[in-house]
Chain A
């Protein structure tokens, strides 16, 4: 059992979300940086889809009522167990009654806590993920909330001491694939998108990363019929400023998608901080 002492700016339970129901208006949700989340689970011998905790800007404190194995990945965050410093990207043992404290990450935005056995809060539509757009799943964590831990029976042994932590660059370069609606924009728009840095706006969240920078100019007027949207879409509302869709993005939308992030770049987008600059390349 884990008791939330304080959640930091935002902490939610996440797993790999609710794929397969987008046609009913159910967002995929799940860990925003899926790569870091899967790694955390592997480090403690869990299946990759076991639920864990996604921290936003660290700052959390958790009390463990029983002993446990944990691993923290994603944004590198100062980690203390009963006051003693531990590294991220490595399995750590937590004694019964110990408090695990997270500082503020030195880079990146979202850190992941996996606990051997997984967090076993009630699932909704096959997932324990908190979906902040539609309100499905458990509420964001608040002080006093208790998270039960599942059985570790039958799990793989913990076999890795330390995983390499990918460095989070100061100005990430995200790879995009043009389309499906690049023809709604001028040729200049694609040149602008791939040659000028953009800045992450403070009103970004798990739904999307809002960007400030040069607006993208449309080549045609009119309205696009609503169509399905994928994670990593760069949707362009009338302001011309693209929004990168993350895990809790709406399933359909009526603004054109100028380009979509390469799957490998979605994890980097999920680690972008407000005020940070980024570039796109095709």
Chain B
């Protein structure tokens, strides 16, 4: 692991891969270190944000030596996200991938996903594990408003829009599951490392 400075109050730990980032994240949540305010996993990094009281040099020396759990998620059951595959971009994605709509849906709902990291908007998880045949670029021009619950793909990632927002991902369907609710604690159903499956539902 390489520990980089991100200013005078944060460290960026390069973990080399996503699984190690999740294991370091899990270790820092199980046993919080004094002075650490935020722990933010990325694709191959963990950002550790400290408050003014923390000794960054000590923290930088300590982070690579932390004992990591063998598996960040253990044997927790995956979150099942019901999907009605009626998205506006289904035909377009079928064209781009050369797959039939049925095959597209089958592949999207057959895969096992892991929340790589969150970003873009609160509760928006970037799900890794998308079938490589379904890797398509974002739309050329983003939509100004994508409804909450939209199930979408872009590049190597799948996602569900947790709230209404602009967005350039390709829409495959929608889910009624609430991924983000500020009255809930934690407000996000997904967090880094959460395992996810999509379950195809008939149109209601």
- Point out residues on A near B: beta carbons under 8 Å: 19-26, 28, 124-125, 134-136, 177, 179-180, 225-230, 232-233, 250-253, 257, 260-263
Secondary structure at the A interface, as helix, strand, loop or mixed, is: loop
CA of A53 to CA of B123, assembled, Å: 27
Given A21-B38, A24-B188, A227-B12, 14 other A-B contacts at CB below 8 A?
A: A19-B38, A19-B49, A20-B37, A20-B38, A22-B47, A136-B122, A177-B7, A179-B4, A180-B12, A228-B47, A250-B119, A251-B118, A257-B6, A260-B5
Cβ B188 vs Cβ A25 within 8 A: yes
Show 24 residue pairs from A and B whose CB-CB distance is below 8 angstroms, ordered by the A residue.
Answer: A19-B37, A19-B38, A20-B37, A22-B47, A22-B49, A23-B39, A24-B123, A25-B121, A134-B121, A177-B5, A180-B4, A180-B6, A227-B12, A227-B44, A227-B47, A228-B6, A230-B49, A250-B119, A251-B119, A252-B118, A257-B6, A260-B5, A260-B6, A260-B10
Cβ A228 vs Cβ B9 within 8 A: no
CA of A258 to CA of B5, assembled, Å: 11
Cβ B187 vs Cβ A228 within 8 A: no
Cβ B6 vs Cβ A179 within 8 A: yes
Pick the contact of B41: A28, A179, A228, A229 (CB < 8 A): A228
> What residues of chain A lie closer than 8 Å to B120, measured between beta carbons?
25, 250, 252
Nearest opposing residue in chain A for B17, CB measure? A225
Q: How extensive is the interface on chain B, given as a class?
A: 35 or more
> What residues of chain B lie closer than 8 Å to A252, measured between beta carbons?
40, 42, 117-120
> What residues of chain B lie closer than 8 Å to A225, measured between beta carbons?
42-45
> What residues of chain B lie closer than 8 Å to A179, measured between beta carbons?
4-6
> What residues of chain B lie closer than 8 Å to A125, measured between beta carbons?
182, 187
> What residues of chain B lie closer than 8 Å to A228, measured between beta carbons?
6, 12, 38, 40-42, 45-47, 49
> What residues of chain B lie closer than 8 Å to A19, measured between beta carbons?
37-38, 49
- Residue B192 CB within 8 A of the other chain: yes
> What residues of chain A lie closer than 8 Å to B25, measured between beta carbons?
23
CB distance from A18 to the nearest CB of B (A): 9
CB distance from A152 to the nearest CB of B (A): 28
Pick the contact of A263: B4, B9, B47 (CB < 8 A): B9
With A22-B49, A24-B123 as contacts: A226 and B43 at CB distance below 8 Å: yes
> What residues of chain A lie closer than 8 Å to B125, measured between beta carbons?
25
- Residue B52 CB within 8 A of the other chain: yes
Q: Which of B1-22 contact A (CB under 8 A)?
A: 4-10, 12
CA of A233 to CA of B6, assembled, Å: 8
Instruction: State the 7 A-B residue pairs at the shortest beta-carbon distance, nearest first.
Output: A228-B47, A225-B43, A260-B7, A228-B40, A252-B119, A227-B42, A180-B4
CA of A98 to CA of B43, assembled, Å: 54
CB distance from A203 to the nearest CB of B (A): 16
